[in-house]
Structure 1
Amino acid sequence: MDLAFFRPLPDHEQPDAIEPLLLARSSWSDEQAHGVAVAGALGRAAEAVVRRQRPELVPTRVTVDLFTPTRMAPAWTTTEVVRESGRLMLVDVVLHQEAGPTARASTLWLRPSEDAPGETWSNPDRPEAPPLEVAPETDEPHVPFIHSGAGWSQDFREHQDAERKTYWNTAPSIVLGEPVTPFQAVAASADGTSLATNWGTAGVQHINADVTLTLARPPVGVTVGLRALDRVEHDGVAVSSCTVFDRHGTIGTTVVTSMSNTRRGIDMGGKRWEDDPRSEPGV
């Protein structure tokens, strides 16, 4: 059985229409898709445009606005090249459903060149991937590994605490029958910033309004880590950031703006997943 967030709908009246699968279902509601799936679908659409027109460019920024729930129903994307020059391409994507648009993304792609001379400061606090004996290298999707005061494990019950968290995950396919690309994997995984930063002693009590991913380079492969970098909250509005990394080093950052949603908080300490995402859709 293949694992993916969506399946293609070739007979749908809208071109490139897709339908969410079980793996896309959100823990907030059985009727809506989670942000990881939505971000992945938007990133897939943007990447398709750039790969057709400017394959030499590399992704450097994705900002996703999650302004209304994406339902577990058919969806499709529209794209617009907002600006293109010799050194960059700016592509906007909108995700639509029957009731109207549900999310959008602005993506920036740049032409790589040589590093600038001289020395500049960089943060010496570098995240570390889980040991290979804990999380072997793989391209197969799996339940995320989490690191907190309890160390690395896939048992979410061990990590419902106020400790700094790190999230390590291998992304599934965005659309059934298509191999996930490194960019799609990191674009989707960026929504995991909320899990890494907003998960505390009472579970996850905040829902994302947006997520921004910045990249100095794409990941090597489709496994990505997010380590909590900072978090500030006032009057129910939280701004959180993570360092993005792979086994070869740090590759970028994420920033998420979220709102408290305590009436429908998710008690992660009561969840137990087997290491097979077909049994439970996860977060």
Structure 2
Amino acid sequence: MTDNSAFFTLKNGELVPAPQARSPWSADMLHGRLLGGLAARAIEAEHGDPDFHFARLTIDLFRNSPLLPLSVETTRIREGRRIRVVDATVRTEQGAVARAGAVLLRRSEPPAGEVWSTPAWDAPTPAELGPPPPDTLSLPFDLWRLTDWDEGGSNRAWVRETHPLVEGETMSPFVRVALAADFASPLSNSGTAGLHYINADYTLALSRLPVGDEVGMESSGHLSDAGIATGQCALHDTAGPIGYCLVTALVNPGSVLGRQVAGDQRGSRPR
């Protein structure tokens, strides 16, 4: 039977991670994507507003986090008529492990005229593809690879969450895309020898929130030099493009994740 239990359980005001919350880089490290999801969850719960749209979210992953209970603190930095800015810090008993910054913009009527827009991609939808195939990385979410990542070209994939973030809670579209966006790093930074880069941050820029459970990603850029990389992806749902994700990453010496590498690959996030 598939275990679809939550990544975290809320106990005494803290978020206690489950075993499936670990990173594929190390068995004793929390997956960075979950820190982004927790930050998005707290920002949305404490500062969300139907009249405002989550236009930008940046997640800084500056410290390894072991599988310890976490808490998230948020601060409203700016409250304007059309813009709201929020910061969040994710902590364990060892101190801060990540921070986030969000920009919320007030919704309004679109202007007259037309502006060129990113076209919808021609990828088949998950419904058309059928059940996701087994993946050698043993990832805790569904993954449809639409390209061969070992060829070193532009990559495409659909991802879909299979675990709730927090026990007893329904995942919102904002949290869902915040979790998915972390995958922009392996998608844009993988090469013919696998993935050698581990991301230090990621930034989401969204024109709208996703509809449905799946988030599609297409790498549209990669640059690297001296062991430092930056990559970008366009994000889609089954209705069309929704935004972009930009990541920065650095080489993780002695560790590699790739198509033939098992999910228990040992390594660490160098900080």
TM-score by length of 1: 0.84
Could you tell me how far 1:131 is from its partner in structure 2?
5.1
Return the alpha-carbon distance in structure 2 between the equivalents of residues 77 and 142 of structure 1: 23
- Residue type at the aligned position of 1:101: A
Q: Partner of 2:10 in structure 1?
A: 8
C-alpha distance after superposition, 1:42-94 (max 9, x if no partner)? 1101111123xx33212110000000012111110100000112212111110
Residues 206 and 243 of structure 2 are in contact (CA less than 8 Å); yes or no, is this contact kept in structure 1?
Answer: yes
Q: What's the counterpart of residue 163 of structure 1?
A: 153
Structure 2 CA distance, aligned partners of 1:32 and 1:65?
16
Give the aligned partner of residue 280 of structure 1.
none
Q: 1:46-61 counterparts in 2 under 5 A? A: 46-51=43-48, 54-61=49-56
Q: Is 1:145 equivalent to 2:144 in the alignment?
A: yes
Aligned-pair distance for 1:161?
A: 3.1
Q: Which residue of 1 aligns with 2:234?
A: 243
Deviations 1:203-260, CA, capped at 9 Å, x for gaps: 1100111000010000012321111011111111111000011000000000000001
SS in 2 for 1:263: coil
For 2:95 and 2:171, the matched residues in 1 are separated by: 27
SS of 1:232's partner is strand
Q: Residue 25 of structure 1 aligns to which amino acid in structure 2?
A: R
Calculate the TM-score normalised by the size of structure 2: 0.87
Deviation at 1:179?
Answer: 0.9
Number of matched pairs: 254
Match 1:105 to one of 81, 96, 100: 100
3-state SS of 1:36 partner? helix
> Structure 1 counterpart of 2:200, which letter?
A
3-state DSSP class of the match of 2:157? strand
> Which residue of 202, 207, 211 corresponds with 1:220?
211
- Specify whether residues 129 and 78 from structure 1 end up closer, same or farther in structure 2 by C-alpha distance, changes over 3 A only: farther
Alignment of 1:57-72 (within 5 A): 57-72=52-67
CA contact (8 A) 2:147 2:157 kept: no
TM-superposition CA deviations, 1:21-61 (whole Å, max 9, x none): 1221101111111121111111101111123xx33212110
Local SS of the residue matching 2:40: helix
Partner-residue secondary structure (3-state), 2:33: helix
Change (3 A) 1:96 1:131: closer
State the AA in 2 paired with 1:85: G
In the TM superposition, what is the alpha-carbon distance from 1:130 to its structure 2 partner?
3.1
1:24-35 matches, cutoff 5 A = 24-35=21-32
> 1:268 deviation in Å?
3.1
Q: Could you say which residue in structure 1 is the equivalent of 2:37?
A: 40
Shift of 1:133: 3.0
Q: Is the contact between residue 182 and residue 219 of structure 1 (CA under 8 Å) also seen in structure 2?
A: yes
Structure 2 residues without counterparts, runs of 5 or longer? 133-139, 264-271
Structure 1, unpaired ranges of 5+: 150-158, 273-283
2:109 aligned with 1:114: yes
Q: Secondary structure in 1 aligned to 2:129?
A: coil
1:18 maps to 2:15? yes
CA distance in 2, matches of 1:59, 1:182: 11
Separation of aligned partners in 1, 2:122 and 2:198: 25
**Identical residues among aligned pairs (%):** 34
